[in-house]
Structures are given as C-alpha cells and as structure tokens.
Amino acid sequence: MSGEPRIGIVGATGAVGTVTLGLLSQRGYTNVRAFASSRSAGGSVSFGDRELQVEEATPDALAAGELDIVLFSVGTAASRELVPHAVRGGAIAVDKSSAYRLEPGIPLVVPEVNGARALENDGIVANPNCCTIPLTCVLKPLHDVAGLVNVRVSTYQSVSGAGARRMDALRAEDPAEHNLAMDWTWEGDETDEESKLRAETRKIMELPELPLSATTVRVPVLVGHAEAVWIELEQPLSADEATAILRDAPSVSVVEVPTPKDAAQTDQVLVGRIRPDRASEHGLVLFLACDNLNKGAALNAIQIAELILERQRVPA
Amino acid sequence: MSGEPRIGIVGATGAVGTVTLGLLSQRGYTNVRAFASSRSAGGSVSFGDRELQVEEATPDALAAGELDIVLFSVGTAASRELVPHAVRGGAIAVDKSSAYRLEPGIPLVVPEVNGARALENDGIVANPNCCTIPLTCVLKPLHDVAGLVNVRVSTYQSVSGAGARRMDALRAEDPAEHNLAMDWTWEGDETDEESKLRAETRKIMELPELPLSATTVRVPVLVGHAEAVWIELEQPLSADEATAILRDAPSVSVVEVPTPKDAAQTDQVLVGRIRPDRASEHGLVLFLACDNLNKGAALNAIQIAELILERQRVPA
C-alpha cells in the first residue's frame, strides 16, 4: 500500500460508527467512505468539517477492490454476510461484532495486550466486546507480574452499548421508570454477555482455562461502562504494587473513583479503588470505567487497523 | 402494655419516614404520632385517610412517657442526641441510623435472621443498613445448610438511599448527566458503606470473622437496591439446592432476574441468577434486589417493633 489508506466504515450511521468517523477525522485520515444498510444509505454523515455521502453496503461495493481497511460496526448477522466480500475485494476487515471473535485462526485483538496477533490475520481481525477490552487492559499487566488465578466481575453497562435507539429511549424515559436490566440473550444459566466476557478474555490473554465469573448488568447511564473486579493471584501483590504497575500500563489511567462520565469521550481505561480483597489471601479488588463507544469499540478497532497499516507501509 | 401501642415516628417527613407511616397505617395501627426537626415541625403528614400534625422532636416530648415504641429515621447525629430521651421516657427505640448498630450489647436485628435478639434489648434496637438487610436474608439460610467461607458483593444502590432531596435531583437531572457515584465517607481504602456491610453482616449472622469484600456503587435509579453476590461455602451446594432453600426462606422470593423496579413497593427480597461460581469449587453467584425504603429500612424496623410488642403483650 502506498499513500493515504482507503478506509471504509460499515454501519457509519450507528452509535459506534459515528464515534469511528470522529476519531478517524481527528487522526487525519481523509480517504474515508461511509457505508450503511439500504435503510440509511443515501443520507450523509459528518466527517470533520465535511459531509460524507452514505453508500449502501452491498457485497459488490465492498468487493470492488477500492478499500484497504474496512471497519465493521454492524450486527453479527450483517457482519457474517458482508465481511467476506470486503476480504474478497482485498481489504482487511476489522469486525466489531461477535461474529468472528471466537473463531479459531481469527485474531481477537486488544493492541495493548496482544497487538502482535493483529498481523497474523487472513483478512479478518475481530474486535472484542466493550467490557472485555478495558478488563484485559487492566488484567494483562497484573497477570504478567503476579499470575492470574481467577477473575470475578460485575458490570455497570450504559445503554449506548445497546445502540442509538436505546439512548433515545433513556433520554425520553421518566426517571421513575429507570431500572437495571439484563437485556442479553440467555445461554443456560448465563447471559451471552457473561460467557463472551470469559471466552474473549481467555483468548486474548492466551489463558484458555482462566476461571472467570461475570454478572453483566445494564444501568441507566448513556455512555461509559464500569466494572467491579475481584482477582486472585498466584503471587502476593500489594495494592501499592498493583497501582504502580497500572500507572505504567498503556491506555490505563489510575484515578481515585473511576466513573462512566469521567471516562466518556476519553481514550483511557480509568481504574481505581485498588485494594486488597478481604475475602482472599492473594486477592485484589478494583473498579474500572471506560467509554464503551470509544476505547471499548471504535478506538480499539482503529488501533488494530493502524497496527496493520503500519506494518504494510514498512516494505513500501 | 395493654391496648393499642403508642408509636412515635421521628423523621416522619423524610423518605423512610413516609414509607413507615404508610406501612403502619396498612397494618392497622392508629395510635401514631409524627415527629420531625424544628424545620419540618408544624406541618402535617398523611396517615391513611387522615393527616397527622408533625410535632417537634424535642428531648422533653420524647421523654414524656407517652410512647411505647419510637421508630427513628433520622441521621446518626440526631439519633445519638434524641434516642436516649425516648428510652428515658420508657419507650423502646428502634433506630435506623448507624449510631448504635455496632455498639456491644445493642441488638442489630433482621427479624428473619436473628429476631430473638430483639428481645435482649435495654431500650434500643438497631436496624441495619439497607444493603445488609436483604443480603443477610439470603445468606443466612444458605449458611445454615452449607457454611459460609466468604462473601464478595458489589452493589447497585438507588438514590433514595441518600434521601428525598437526591430523588428530586435525579428527577430533574438531564439523562446525559446520569452517572455512577461512590458518594459515601472514606475509611482508608473503603467507603463506610462497604465497611458497614461487612461489620453488620458479621454481627447479625454472629460470624465475627466472616471475610466479606464489598464495592458499593450508587446508580441513577430512584428506588430499590440490587446486589451482585459471590459466596464460597464449606460444603458443596448446587444451584438447584440453593434455589430450593431460598424458595423456603422467609421474606425471600426467587425470580429469574431481580430488578429494583420489581422489588419496589414490595415486602420481599427478590433473588435470582443463582448459579455455580466458575471461579471457585464450592461457590455460588446470585443477584438480589430489595426496596431499600421498605424491607431495607421501614418495614424491617416495624417488624422489630412487632417482635417486641408481641412479647410485651403475652404477659398482659
């Protein structure tokens, strides 16, 4: 590849697509095309100080060989249908749905944790769940020093994780109706969000047996996911040592009390409340918050794309 | 005591006081007086289909010997000041603040868990924190069968726990401002809410060494607290066995997904999501929700009062 990379965004009118466009513009990309379903195609979306026409995401348009990277922010069924056409056209697809995350041979990447895996792709790289990304950013540096034995996590997930329409619904809702929800698909005694968090964390951290127990909960917050986390470690690690390790960790900021609002519209995983777990010998407790649309989705995918673009540029 | 018990409510104009009046009226009590600070005294409060004048809660009024039971729903400082006067006047004080909860010799009571302790009072019985009450209602029957080793809990606490003004603030808030908070007092690396939850659970369950690790979080919900709970047990206990035990537990209802909204304005602790903890051998995970103003505060205090009134009535 030479010159400016040609980037396509599929799902450009959605909550994550909108954030993706904003981040690409900020980062100076100019050769960007917006795609959406036939329902949204024909309109336009903002891209920096100009407008992009929204093209229909047809198999032919994606396979035409005119794109280097395609960032998919659509549902799992749409990804399964469209991603192969982008790959056929010679692009690398970075897919934010759960369609390919657990497929053997397809890298599932958090650049700060297993970035090198992004280069081992056959055309598709999967972007993890919006809770898995911040969790692994925090777990990896602690694991490297003290060895993870197990993980327990309860989530506080904002409605933007369920899409732009759920955000509108919360904006219009009588506060007396605000509630917690577990609005996921059931898989036996867990939600699919809970089993994803375990399976994806295992794959990214290359710890295929890691015991991880999650309870995933939707809260009436617009943007920003938080997680209460307990870990048990092989080696003793004090709260001060863990804090020092996390202060040096990429994309992680240590704060007193991480909140979704402080994390919103930042690129960082906020982590705090780092303290010994009074219920175990080598245990720690912590709390984290992250913008689920940004580092939890759009930014992580762009970082993956940049790892690939950088490598492709070297031999040019 | 003979005839109708004379009941005083101090803090009758607050969020919990209002619920207390409603419950007392529903339960058929008629000899009820409402007290509040000088700021709120002089007005009136609804009591069934009539209005009660709000009297000022002065030491003399409370010590005048005209009350059998006084239910205190005021702050810790006000309780410390006023409770002794009610006791001096011959009443039994049931105090909902944290003033007396951990004082040796003062019973801290959840009727379903340690009701007999209510009778061992010297004039004061303390009512636990709104998260401790539902937690112990669920832990006690499981402990009796399988022995608790440790407890981890993260909370989802509604703003009504912080009082009526915080409810008004949430009603008026732009949803874009909704956030999580840890709006408690700090005690070292914990909030006082977290250390209360541990200390009170230990006292009520008479397990003074029980390891309990809590992360307490305020969520933008008006009424109803929820808790994600992990327990480790001495004996193996399947999710089905635990479910059967909890179905038989007093004041507990097993449901699929407990939510604050379903719990609100009910007398029950809703519990569900009961499943094995994939992070430990004899562990269980569950989720609970409870109306923090009702069973989490007002109702529990009335149940304590009724245990005492019942006993006093026997010899009459």
Residue A85 annotated among the catalytic residues of the structure: no
Q: Which two tokens stand for residue B61?
A: 């009024």
Percent of chain B with pLDDT over 90: 96
Rounded distance between C-alpha atoms, residue B183 and residue B173, angstroms: 17
Strand partners, A35: A10, A55
Residue B2 scores a pLDDT above 60: no
Residue A1 scores a pLDDT above 80: no
- Does the distance separating the beta carbons of A215 and B180 come in below 8 Å? no
**What is the pLDDT, as a whole number, of residue A312?**
78
The pLDDT tens digits of the residues spanning B127-150 come to: 999 999 999 999 999 999 999 999
Exactly one of B85, B130, B131, B137 is catalytic; which is it? Answer: B130
CA–CA distance from A246 to each of A144, A239, A274, B101, B241 (Å)? Answer: 12, 10, 10, 38, 41
- Does the distance separating the beta carbons of A176 and B152 come in below 8 Å? no
- Does the distance separating the beta carbons of B215 and A219 come in below 8 Å? no
Sign of the Cα torsion A189, A194, A197, A200 reads positive
Within 8 A of A213 by CB-CB distance, chain B residues are: 230, 277-279, 283, 285
Exactly one of B85, B143, B225, B290 is catalytic; which is it? Answer: B225
pTM of this prediction exceeds 0.80: yes
Q: Which of B153, B173, B190, B213 to mutate to test the interface with A (most CBs of A within 10 A)?
A: B213
- Does the distance separating the beta carbons of A171 and B279 come in below 8 Å? no
Eight-class DSSP state of A128? P
Within 8 A of B292 by CB-CB distance, chain A residues are: none
The pLDDT tens digits of the residues spanning B251-266 come to: 999 999 999 999 999 9
- Does the distance separating the beta carbons of A177 and B211 come in below 8 Å? no
Quote the ipTM score.
Answer: 0.95
Contact A14, A292 (CB under 8 A): no
- Does the distance separating the beta carbons of B221 and A220 come in below 8 Å? yes
Shortest alpha-carbon distance between residue A148 and chain B (Å): 11
* Mean pLDDT of the A28-32 span: 97
Which residue on chain A is closest to B184 by alpha carbon? A257
* Mean pLDDT of the A194-215 span: 98
Residue A183 scores a pLDDT above 60: yes
Residue A143 annotated among the catalytic residues of the structure: no
Q: What are phi and psi of B232, to 5 degrees?
A: -110, 140
Task: Report the Cα A98 to chain-centroid distance in Å.
Answer: 11
Q: Which two tokens stand for residue A266?
A: 């930042």
Q: Is B111 exposed, middle or buried (0-12, 13-18, 19+ CB in 10 A)?
A: buried
Neighbours of A3 (CB within 10 A): 8
The pLDDT tens digits of the residues spanning A168-182 come to: 999 999 999 999 999
Shortest alpha-carbon distance between residue A224 and chain B (Å): 9
Which residue on chain B is closest to A160 by alpha carbon? B176
Rounded distance between C-alpha atoms, residue A169 and residue A23, angstroms: 26
